[in-house]
Amino acid sequence: MPELPELEVVRDVLNTRVVGKKITRVELLQPTAAIVVRDVTGRGFVETLTAAKIENVARRGKFLLFDFDHAAKLVINPKLTGRLQLATTQDKRYKKTAFVFTFADETELRYFDDKAMGQVYLTDDIKRVPDFAEMGPEPFDISREQFRERLKPFRGEIKGVLTRGEFLAGIGNAYADEILWRAQVHPYRKRTQLTAEEIERLYDAIQTTLRESIELVRAAMGENIHLKPRDFFQVHMRAGKACPRCGSTISEITAQQRITNFCRTCQAGGLIRGM
């Protein structure tokens, strides 16, 4: 799923490309729209957004938030396969496109979702968006001391802690693997087993991995915001390849429909569950 680095770049591109533009036409395309689009205002998705001007695009965790020149907000949680696309009216649409905003210059902003797992909310109150109010702080807004304090109540496996939105916002399965590899911490170590040094390394790895990844995504994505460039990953989805740090073979474990990749040499000390 898109995580903090991808969505941060998408936000920046949208603020350059669509902020200040008025939506001249809104299309809801079925059946995908019926699954992913939710009008919480009750005023009508098409009716509310036609002729609305986009004033700002923000990111909070794994959500994108659109402000318009009226009270309603559009909140997008793309989840596993949701994507936004900048296009022209002449460009072919993806099969699972849910909605299209057309602007006066014949450019379009589209949302498509291959598995229709994302959620798009038109709302007057973002507190009505599931999981939004419960999010923890942004990784870049938390100090080292605050990070140590926030970790204390959690007792599960450290990868599971990192991917819990109420702990920190914006980190998902893929970047958790990358962060833990950089910190040299086994993903299945219990939080209570981590040493003070490992917690320090983990904090540093979060900051460095996410900041570096934003710039790598920006360079690879450009304005093709529907792409998800991850060729720069060190371990995630690289099972069987050599660890970039020590040369050992990268392991893969699949549990609860989530793939975890790590290096057993660099990230020693976890519960062994098989290759």
- For residue 123, the cross-strand partners are 73
Q: Which fold has domain 139-263?
A: Helicase, Ruva Protein; domain 3 (1.10.8)
Asked whether 77 and 118 are in contact (CB, 8 A), the reply is yes
Q: What is the mean pLDDT of the chain?
A: 95
Tokens of 149: 């304090």
Please state, in angstroms and rounded to a whole number, the distance separating the CA atoms of residues 111 and 175: 23
Give the mean model confidence (pLDDT) for residues 158-182. Answer: 97
pLDDT in tens, 210-260: 999 999 999 999 999 999 999 999 999 999 999 999 999 999 999 878 999
pLDDT band at 87 (very low <50, low <70, confident <90, very high): very high
pLDDT in tens, 186-211: 999 999 999 999 999 999 999 999 99
* CATH ID of 4-128, from 3.40.50.300, 3.20.190.10, 3.40.640.10, 3.20.20.450: 3.20.190.10
pLDDT, position 270:
63
pLDDT, position 70:
86
The set of catalytic residues is 2-3, 62, 258
pLDDT in tens, 13-67: 999 999 999 999 999 999 999 999 999 999 999 999 999 999 999 999 999 999 9
Domain coordinates of the chain in residue numbers?
4-128, 139-263
pLDDT in tens, 213-227: 999 999 999 999 999
Residue 5: pLDDT over 60 = yes
Please state, in angstroms and rounded to a whole number, the distance separating the CA atoms of residues 10 and 219: 12
